[in-house]
Amino acid sequence: MSTVVADADLDGGAVATGMSHLVAADQIDISHGVILYLDSVTVSFDGFRALNELSFSIDAGELRCVIGPNGAGKTTMMDVITGKTNLDSGSVFLGQTIDLTQRTEYEIARLGIGRKFQKPSVFEYHSVFENLELAMDGPKGVWSTLLHRRGSEQEDRIHEMLKRITLAERMNEPAGLLSHGQKQWLEIGMLLMQAPKILLLDEPAAGMSDEETERTAELFLSLEGQHSLIVVEHDMDFVASLQRKVTVLHEGSVLAEGSMESVQNDERVIEVYLGR
Amino acid sequence: MGPVATSIAALFDRRGWLMIGGFILVIFAVVPLLRLAVPSASPLHLSDYYVLLFGKIMCYAMVALAMDLIWGYAGILSLGHGLFFALGGYSMGMYLMREIGTEGQYRSHMPDFMVFLDWKDFPWYWAGTEYFIVALCKILLVPGLLAFIFGWFAFRSRIKGVYFSIITQALTYAFMLLFFRNNTGFGGNNGFTDFKRILGFSLAHPGTRISVFVVTGLFLVLTLLLCRYIVTSKYGRVLAAIRDAESRTMFSGYNTRDYKLFVWTLSAVLCGIAGALYVPQVGIINPSEMSPANSIEIAIWVAVGGRGTLVGALVGAGVVNGAKSYLTVAWPDFWLYFLGALFVIVTLFLPKGVIGWRRGEFR
């Protein structure tokens, strides 16, 4: 369980004189407005530098798009944030205080970082309802799930989410029977059930119809503010439709950052995408 | 008791409970009556042979349930589960050896094989084996601790799939070699046999044998209820999620290592209990129980019955062992061909086993 702590929350019992970082363990300190820092992160595989001194940060509540050609390091960046890949050097911080490099995958997930994979990754043999139930935040230890009883409040939350991702009618079907686009939505729904602070979305619009893509863009824009979102996409139209700050990765570092128009007009970006 | 009773009642549907009720009736009433109350001249009389066969199959069925729990539901294929079964059996066997007292061949208070080795004192790990309560603790702790330690390292290192299976196979083989040695102190390749008594009751007495049989049936039912509770709980759904998409489960905030370690250890303990109930019935435990082939056979029972259903494990253990007891007598040379052919046929044509076939799920 983690709670976002802003400056205003530091009152009463906690004596915060001169110590702006005085927050309880596993509480995300966003007093500087930034929720995620990557500082000169380097990751190499057999000598190949997948990430090369990558530095960037995301503000709390921000929606950020990340683009880049194949091999630019987009997926590796997500692997680093979620604890799947260890880094050679650099640091990754959640808020001001939590060093993510010291945490395992499941701890990072519990801290409030949800990840959607490039290929939709849902539990194919579980029902749609059960998929959402499994993802829902709450105690996730062995004993608590052994003794778990589903409460009506939790059921309400699941039904609410089913409506939101328009899968209410298929809640009892195995998730494996859903279409590609519906699986994408289910996975996004699962992330939201985790009540995450940050959502990492790897090609969320891939394989979706135009209408689904449009609805996905709307959904992301509605999440902005309550959650921070990092959207990695190949689909430029989708990125353009979001109209948010864009980070361009190339060969493991940030090549350019700014609005979609400014990035599209950046000569180095044009060269990377069209040149050679 | 209200909510507990309700949640136990919800484990099975009406038909399931009726079948369990029928099974309990057979175990607690029909078999004891046919064995003890019906005169041996009557055609309805049940001979020791069938009581033993039925009792053995119930032990195997417990092992099959334990196997299905980890293979069918957690996707972990162990090819070393015979080891945990044997360790439970040896834990019970040590106690039974002490119960022999001075009635062994050498009339010594030490087991015959120790006299034969010219040992004057019990090794330290035989301390307390004369107490039944110590045996009970060891039946749970020895397989449990070994599985826990092994699993802790294996799951921490994220060893999966065929690699895990091969290591479990090597583990049981290593233990078999260890137990074959006379100096290990477990009777070498002869193991333990010639048991006389359990809790002071003669093992030759039909009443004692039926009692062990009834206790075995009771434990089988309890194991089934426990396994069913686990797989229908949220824990069970997480376990199946780990089987199908482990990284998604991890990124959903579950410590998958703990989940696997728990079910792995529990499965080993269940095997240990089955082994402990097996030994007083068959009257012998030796290292051949740890042979790799035995452990592979356990996997075949579950594959034949149908993985991930529990009832399939029961059916598989019953069908394969029933066939085994018949074929090894009728055509002793033919049995292994039959077992091999059965496995090939099931793998090719009935991937979901007999249960899947009954439900109309063909490949």
What digits encode the pLDDT tens for the residues B297-306?
999 999 999 9
Same domain, B70 and B208: yes
CA closest to B255 among chain A residues: A106
Contact at CB, B248 and A123, closer than 8 angstroms: yes
Over residues B324-343, mean pLDDT: 90
Same domain, B158 and B219: yes
The pTM of the full predicted model, rounded to 2 decimals, is: 0.91
B206/B200 Cα distance (integer angstroms): 14
pLDDT digits (tens, 9 = 90+) for B258-291: 999 999 999 999 999 999 999 999 999 999 999 9
Compare CB distances from B235 to A84, A122, A145 and report the shortest one's residue: A145
Residue B205 lies in a domain: yes
Taking 50 as the threshold, does the pLDDT of residue B183 lie above it?
A: yes
A chain contacts of residue B253, beta-carbon cutoff 8 Å: 106, 109-110, 137, 140, 194
Same domain, B235 and B128: yes
A106/A122 Cα distance (integer angstroms): 16
Smallest Cα–Cα separation from A228: which of A76, A78, A36, A81?
A36
Query: How many Å lie between the alpha carbon of A87 and the closest alpha carbon of chain B?
Result: 18
Same domain, B17 and B78: no
Which 3 state secondary structure label does DSSP give A94?
A: strand
Residue-number span of the structural domain to which B105 is assigned = 57-291
| Whole-number pLDDT of residue A205 | 85
Same domain, B9 and B120: no
- Chain B CB within 8 Å of residue A86 CB: no
A chain contacts of residue B230, beta-carbon cutoff 8 Å: 146
- Give the dihedral sign, CA B292/B295/B299/B305: positive
Compute and round to an integer the Cα radius of gyration of chain B: 21
| Whole-number pLDDT of residue A234 | 81
| Whole-number pLDDT of residue A237 | 85
pLDDT digits (tens, 9 = 90+) for B75-119: 999 999 999 999 999 999 999 999 999 999 899 989 999 999 999
| Whole-number pLDDT of residue A7 | 43
* Residue where a domain stops, chosen among B291, B306, B325: B291
Residue B147 lies in a domain: yes
CB B334, CB B327: distance < 8 Å? yes
Q: What is the mean pLDDT of each run of 10 residues along chain A (276 residues)?
A: 44 42 70 91 91 93 91 91 93 92 94 91 95 95 92 94 94 94 93 94 87 90 93 87 92 91 88 70
**Which token pair is B180?**
């074959």
Q: Please state which of the four CATH numbers 3.30.479.30, 3.40.50.280, 3.40.50.300, 3.30.300.30 is assigned to the domain occupying A4-274.
A: 3.40.50.300
Residue B325 lies in a domain: no
- Chain B CB within 8 Å of residue A197 CB: no
Those of residues 223-252 in B touching chain A at CB distance below 8 A are 230, 233-235, 237-238, 240-241, 244-245, 247-252
Same domain, B42 and B61: no
Residues 6+ apart with CB under 8 A from A140: A106, A110, B252, B253, B254, B255
Same domain, B71 and B41: no
Domain ranges of chain A: 4-274
B136/A246 Cα distance (integer angstroms): 65
| Whole-number pLDDT of residue B362 | 46
- Chain B CB within 8 Å of residue A15 CB: no
Same domain, B125 and B18: no
CA B220 distance to own-chain centroid = 10
Residue B234 lies in a domain: yes
How many domains does the structure of chain B reveal? 2
A chain contacts of residue B234, beta-carbon cutoff 8 Å: 133-134, 145-146, 148, 150
Same domain, B35 and B128: no
CA A63 distance to own-chain centroid = 10
B56/B54 Cα distance (integer angstroms): 5
Same domain, B80 and B211: yes
Same domain, B183 and B229: yes
Residue B252 lies in a domain: yes
DSSP-assigned letters across all residues of B37-82: IS-TTSTTPPPHHHHHHHHHHHHHHHHHHHHHIIIIIT----S-HH
Residue B210 lies in a domain: yes
| Whole-number pLDDT of residue A212 | 87
Same domain, B93 and B174: yes
Residue B305 lies in a domain: no
Residue B106 lies in a domain: yes
